[in-house]
Amino acid sequence: MRQLDETDRRILRVMLREGDLTAAQIAERAGLSAAPCWRRIDRMTREGIILGRSARIDWARLGYAVRVFLRVTLDKTAPRAFDEFVAAARELPEVVTLQTLLGRVDVRMDVIARDLDHYRRIYREKILPLPHIADLESLLLVSELKNDDWAPV
């Protein structure tokens, strides 16, 4: 694998800080001229280091005011518990994140709802019937203090 040099890292830092910039703006902020900057971005994209851009969506603005993190422990005596649980949970539109973990809990998922009443319905009618749940813990989001994909690049 090719090692990134300092110029590549500078470009990535600019892009992480502001995701909306055009190629020309990135070049300017990274102190490069446009063509070589674009070539580096293109190469890092082809190499799979830059995966793309995605819109940041404020779900609360859309009327989804409630976000609950569910931490699920599965019944591991069932041989296909993981696969069957994940396949079923993935289909639920209210589940916006689904991750498998190594630790005290097996799966965590983010569920969004319009309000607590709506959440209670989702929880009873859609979450509890999911297969192979041994234990379920809920954390209700109060506020988000930091959320960025920044990493020490």
Partner 1 sequence: MSARAEFDEVDMAILRALQEDGGRSAKAVAQLVGLSQPACWRRIRRLEEEGVIRGRRVRLDLRRLGYEVTVFLGVKLAARGRASLEDFERAVTAIPEVQLVQHVLGVYDYRLKVVARDLADFERILRRRILTLPGVGEVESNVLLSEEKSTPGLS
Of 88, 96, 118, 126, the residue at the interface with partner 1 (CB under 8 A) is 96
Count Cβ atoms below 10 Å from residue 80 Cβ, excluding itself.
10
- The CB-of-14 to partner 1 minimum distance in angstroms stands at 10
- In whole angstroms, what is the distance from residue 23 CA to residue 57 CA? 23
SS3 87: helix
- The CB-of-55 to partner 1 minimum distance in angstroms stands at 4
- Closer by beta carbon to partner 1, 16 or else 24: 16
- In whole angstroms, what is the distance from residue 66 CA to residue 59 CA? 9
CA distances from 149 to 12, 91, 146 (A): 11, 26, 10
Residue 100 engages partner 1 in binding (rule: CB under 8 A): yes
Of 42, 97, 121, 135, the residue at the interface with partner 1 (CB under 8 A) is 97
- Closer by beta carbon to partner 1, 78 or else 139: 139
- In whole angstroms, what is the distance from residue 140 CA to residue 76 CA? 26
Of 6, 46, 77, 103, the residue at the interface with partner 1 (CB under 8 A) is 103
Cβ–Cβ < 8 Å for 94, 45: no
**Angle between the N-to-C axes of helices 6-17 and 34-46, in degrees from 0 to 180, rounded to the nearest 10:** 90
- Closer by beta carbon to partner 1, 55 or else 117: 55
Q: Which x/- pattern over 48-67 shows residues binding partner 1 (rule: CB under 8 A)?
A: xxxxxxxxxxxxxxxxxx--
Considering only residues 133-152, where is the footprint of partner 1 by CB under 8 A? 137-152
Binding site for partner 1 (CB under 8 A): 1, 4, 12, 15-16, 18-20, 47-65, 69, 86, 89-105, 108, 112, 114, 137-153
